[in-house]
Structure 1
């Protein structure tokens, strides 16, 4: 029974995998075809799109829909940009801006900053007649991004757009500057059509400046270059501007042919807004010539086109609302049909769903339990290894502490008790010599001193135990203890004058380890001065600087002649090690016949 069950389960899983793989392969093949179509539509040139907006628009909408369905984000952004362009040339400005903004968002998500920068520049260009301040803001954003793409065609196109925005702001010098920058780049890049557009923009600017002859020259050159590419939309704009230039020159006869040709081309490329402008100027020209019947005829055409455009926008809005209403009605009908399903069908679906969910849950539970068991096993093994490592580390740390404690005891014996014992041995040898020479008085005096040394050694041992048993030591208590030590050393200091100065707060607390290391460093320095320095004065000064204590130990003796040998000695090494244990640093200076200066600095806490 179990073997049959597992065999059937395996066959089901294999069949599902095969179906999914087939679907995936089909989807990939279908996706490749869609991607090819999307790329071919988005590759349509600017002049093709603007010259055939009505034919191009459905292709772009299809491209957008397919790119969205297969997750082709770059194709989606390019389609949105193309749709925005088509809508702009059809006079549907609000929709054009909406899709331009959507394209920018996708470009920015894809980090395609050159595309995003130019899209911002296009947005500034298309909003210039509605909100100049916002248009300039968009233009600046685009140009800031395109600074990283210096002297590119994209940057040149943005300069052209900015030139027209500056023209609308009546900043004609700036307008000429940016369009000429664009023209320079386009000439270097041999962009013939782009040169034509720069000429057209320069003509438009000079037209506003009332430099009619210069404007006409630029506009004719622009038309000539655009005609090489059959750019009907651009040619229509240049003819309309030429007509406007002659109209403003009051050469109405010369203006009329250009305006008629502009209107004809605008109709051919489905650019009715441009035809509106041409008819309006034609009406004004005929009126100036006294040909009122022609003026009325073209005024009627202008009014007809304008009314049609407004009605089309209204009809589109009504149609959109109608579609929304019908969609809502259909959704309500579908909801009613779903509610009319029989209770038995719902039960069957619920049962099938329940069985499917239970099977999935059982399989999931089986997999999860296996994973949990494996994780628990790995966790137990890791815990064993961690505990073993902790024990090893604890043992190593304990051995290290024992080793350090041995080193510290060794240093203490050398620095203090060792010094006393050395004095005792030397004194006893000298006492024996005095006794052999019947110098009993000298022997007795020396034995008295040796008795003090023995008591001193005992005091040092007690002192060490006292420091280690304390939890904290006040600075004042430490200074008093140091004064007692100096007083006890008077028998050995002879004529050495010891000056102890304390500039640290008396209530400052030191921990026992700090007190212990600090006392031993001072004792070692004083012992070395007594033994070797032949000094008259020895100064000890404590002061505080921020969160540090500085200690200066200075004598006026003969200095250190063999400094290298001194640095290598046990005394200096011990002082250095004690400074390191205080997390501080120790510095020694010595000048012959001027003494030795030792500076210790360590942090509190």
Structure 2
């Protein structure tokens, strides 16, 4: 009481072999296929237009499908024998496969399972040659159906699962073939008495149904769920699914499936004690089963009628129906036929292995030839490549020598130009430093001397003027010192840490002489190489920051100790100037020129400066990159 995989035959699926004059012939053959009353007329007319093997194959092909629609089994066998040799000579694999598929359904419908198995095995063989994964899965599901109808449910489940795996592992999934495979597996589990397993595969199909466009072609899903629920006595739930299928099958006019619907509804009715409703449904079930011509459908109705009459106590009808059922069943099942089915399966598997082995040998032979061709090509290419490589190496080596010579000449010219530029720069520095020393230095020294003379001449006469002259003299003297520092920096392209250390130590010593109350300390971390070089501008900025920091401490901090230290941290130099003076309030103190100069020079060094001050002293920390 369930559906096998349905078939859908449309004109586009029949196809045609193209040949000269095919348009006129094709039109006549299509009319012959579709016409109910004039079919023979069109076939007769089209036969006069046959000109070659392709036309003749087309003619017999349409005649086969016309008789298949009419279910004239003798004629379909006759026409298939006519058309298949022609199609084989034309290498028309897809059309041969379709004929075998239709023959499979014809024999399955009439209960000739061994013949049905043979035809679907041939269709499967062609699908494998075509390398059509979807069709391979489809025909594997068909084999599962044959074993189901032959009541070999274990093999039926095995082929159903195999069909699903084939399609599920394909690159491009076709969900209808997954549905067919699940359905084949489920109905085998159902009649095997394993309802839970059957429902698992049925419900999986309900989910897959969302992924196909033509859901009306899969009405069997709902009827088969209802059929399994019926067997577990869940009649109300079963009826809901079967009625859903019934509506869809009525719309499509699917006689085969309607026979199943009404058989299941009759069974539910008599199980619920609705005997009148059961009889009405049995009448419709018999009608559609007979029209379908399916031994399986007729057998299912008769079996359910026998159980129905037994249940209501009508033993005469029950016995008649049961005997009719056994007669139908015996026409299908016997030991001889079972042995033949087994033999056919063994034969098919053996032939398949032989085909695979032959194909493997052919592929191996072809591969060996291909390898031989490739080897010859490779060896020839290698020899040619070797010659080209040798020529290329010689050319490359010559070019490399030439390039190296040009590069060395270029490097030499560049070095000479650099040396010449450095010499010019050094001469320029020396000239500027001499001018500064001889001219501006001398003039500043003269100014200092003149101011001191004025101060001496004005001594004890005007204290205010004397103080101003003292400040001018001190400022001029300081300017001379700074000018000397500038000349010192200009005479050097780079300043080593050792040079900087000596210069700073000299400055601190002078500051110590100026204010003997203050203890000075200058520290350079041992991790800093004395040979570390700083560009002269960078070294001068460091020196000036130390000057500013120390002078600020001397002028304003009343400090007893000033410590200057330089250390290395994370590839950066860290300079700190620490005093223990009275400090100042950063928030409420306006920055003077000294602190602003320190911040400006820190920016010039691409560094950052941090000033922290309280009543215990002040620390200025400068961090800047060594490079």
Q: TM-score, normalised by structure 1?
A: 0.50
- Give distance in 2, aligned partners of 1:544 and 1:371: 58
- Give distance in 2, aligned partners of 1:40 and 1:98: 25
C-alpha deviation, 1:224, in angstroms:
1.0
Higher relative contact order (CA 8 A, sep 6+): 2
Richer in helix (by share): 1
- Give distance in 2, aligned partners of 1:77 and 1:121: 15
Query: Structure 1's 598 and 282: CA in aligned 2 closer, same or farther, altered over 3 A?
Result: farther
- Which residue matches 2:39? none
Residues 25-59 of structure 1, C-alpha deviation per residue, up to 9 Å, x if partnerless?
xxxxxxxx999956778999x99997887598467
C-alpha deviation, 1:484, in angstroms:
3.2
Kept in 2, the 8 Å contact 1:552–1:599? The answer is yes
Query: Which residues of 2 match residues 100-249 of structure 1 at below 5 A?
Result: 100-105=164-169, 107-108=170-171, 112=172, 115=173, 124-128=182-186, 168-169=199-200, 191=214, 193-194=216-217, 196=219, 200=223, 207=230, 209-211=234-236, 214=240, 217-227=243-253, 230=254, 232=256, 234-249=257-272
SS in 1 for 2:136: helix
Count how many residue pairs are aligned between Structure 1 and Structure 2: 466
Query: Structure 1's 216 and 461: CA in aligned 2 closer, same or farther, altered over 3 A?
Result: closer
Query: Structure 1's 37 and 533: CA in aligned 2 closer, same or farther, altered over 3 A?
Result: farther
Query: Structure 1's 124 and 588: CA in aligned 2 closer, same or farther, altered over 3 A?
Result: farther
Residues 54-102 of structure 1, C-alpha deviation per residue, up to 9 Å, x if partnerless?
598467436524434xxxxxxx233323323433433444334334433
Query: Which residues of 2 match residues 214-363 of structure 1 at below 5 A?
Result: 214=240, 217-227=243-253, 230=254, 232=256, 234-250=257-273, 251=275, 253-254=279-280, 256-257=282-283, 260=286, 268=294, 281-288=304-311, 289-290=314-315, 291-299=318-326, 301-302=328-329, 305=332, 311-320=339-348
Kept in 1, the 8 Å contact 2:508–2:520? The answer is no
After the TM superposition, which of the residue ranges 365-374 and 77-86 deviates more from structure 2?
Answer: 365-374
C-alpha deviation, 1:246, in angstroms:
3.5
Kept in 1, the 8 Å contact 2:302–2:325? The answer is yes
- Which residue matches 1:67? 130
State whether structure 2 residue 403 is matched by structure 1 residue 371: no
- Which residue matches 1:140? none
Query: Structure 1's 388 and 93: CA in aligned 2 closer, same or farther, altered over 3 A?
Result: farther
Query: Structure 1's 254 and 61: CA in aligned 2 closer, same or farther, altered over 3 A?
Result: same
- Which residue matches 1:488? 509
Gaps of 5+ in 2: 1-87, 109-115, 148-155, 362-371, 460-469, 579-583, 613-617
Query: Which residues of 2 match residues 528-543 of structure 1 at below 5 A?
Result: 536=556
Kept in 2, the 8 Å contact 1:47–1:231? The answer is no
Residues 115-172 of structure 1, C-alpha deviation per residue, up to 9 Å, x if partnerless?
266655665555457899xxxxxxxxxxxxxxxxxxxxxxxxxxxxxxx99981599x
Residues 562-591 of structure 1, C-alpha deviation per residue, up to 9 Å, x if partnerless?
999x79xxx95x755644xxxxx447999x
SS in 1 for 2:445: helix
- Give distance in 1, aligned partners of 2:357 and 2:222: 55
- Which residue matches 2:591? 559
Query: Structure 1's 180 and 225: CA in aligned 2 closer, same or farther, altered over 3 A?
Result: farther
C-alpha deviation, 1:530, in angstroms:
7.4
- Which residue matches 1:433? 450
Query: Structure 1's 96 and 559: CA in aligned 2 closer, same or farther, altered over 3 A?
Result: same
Gaps of 5+ in 1: 1-32, 69-75, 133-163, 335-354, 471-477, 580-584, 591-595
Residues 157-188 of structure 1, C-alpha deviation per residue, up to 9 Å, x if partnerless?
xxxxxxx99981599xxx69x959968x99xx
Kept in 1, the 8 Å contact 2:549–2:620? The answer is no
- Give distance in 2, aligned partners of 1:369 and 1:63: 49
Query: Structure 1's 559 and 373: CA in aligned 2 closer, same or farther, altered over 3 A?
Result: same
Query: Which residues of 2 match residues 398-413 of structure 1 at below 5 A?
Result: none
Query: Structure 1's 170 and 430: CA in aligned 2 closer, same or farther, altered over 3 A?
Result: same
- Give distance in 2, aligned partners of 1:408 and 1:34: 96
Query: Structure 1's 99 and 203: CA in aligned 2 closer, same or farther, altered over 3 A?
Result: closer
Query: Structure 1's 214 and 459: CA in aligned 2 closer, same or farther, altered over 3 A?
Result: closer
What RMSD in Å do the two structures reach over aligned CA positions?
A: 7.1
Kept in 1, the 8 Å contact 2:489–2:495? The answer is no
Kept in 2, the 8 Å contact 1:576–1:586? The answer is yes
- Give distance in 2, aligned partners of 1:265 and 1:496: 128
- Give distance in 1, aligned partners of 2:486 and 2:594: 31
- Structure (1 or 2) with the larger CA radius of gyration: 2
Q: 2:542 pairs with 522, 525, 528, which one?
A: 522
- Give distance in 2, aligned partners of 1:216 and 1:170: 17
Q: TM-score, normalised by structure 2?
A: 0.49
C-alpha deviation, 1:380, in angstroms:
4.1
Query: Structure 1's 95 and 527: CA in aligned 2 closer, same or farther, altered over 3 A?
Result: same
Q: 1:94 pairs with 148, 153, 158, which one?
A: 158
